[in-house]
Structure 1
């Protein structure tokens, strides 16, 4: 017949094993969420449905003569946004 300390040790080992299994299951669920998020962001990025960030200043108003400058700024903003999304998505890969 096992002693009291052996019973306690066995219960402690069972609790540790159960806790490790719970942690592993939680990590698996979290990884699946990130994979799904990555897939969604990749799809949006590749389909072009991600909008660039809104301008933070009001000095980018529509003025005559700087039509080309504005499109250049938008292009740079698109590239910066795409870079940020790509970094975010690859961080969870």
Structure 2
């Protein structure tokens, strides 16, 4: 979407991403509900800095829909959550629409 390349501002990116996720939610409600129905979901990306990462935007949207945000990162006291290939494919569907 251009934020990482400096083509648009982070605020513009957030707005575009929000609109994209709203459209995805409307068009893929069953997939969103499936994700929201899971005990644990791990959101992964390759962003270098968490401050400007769509993963945190998505976590916020999921939280507004009833998910419990458990934080990010990993240390010895946290569980490492491994996402199944099937769940990854279901999440990937959201990005394609």
Q: Same fold (TM over 0.5)?
A: no
Structure having the higher helix fraction is 1
| Structure whose CA Rg is larger | 1
TM-score of the aligned structures, taking structure 1 as reference length: 0.27
Structure with bigger RCO (C-alpha 8 Å, 6+ apart): 1
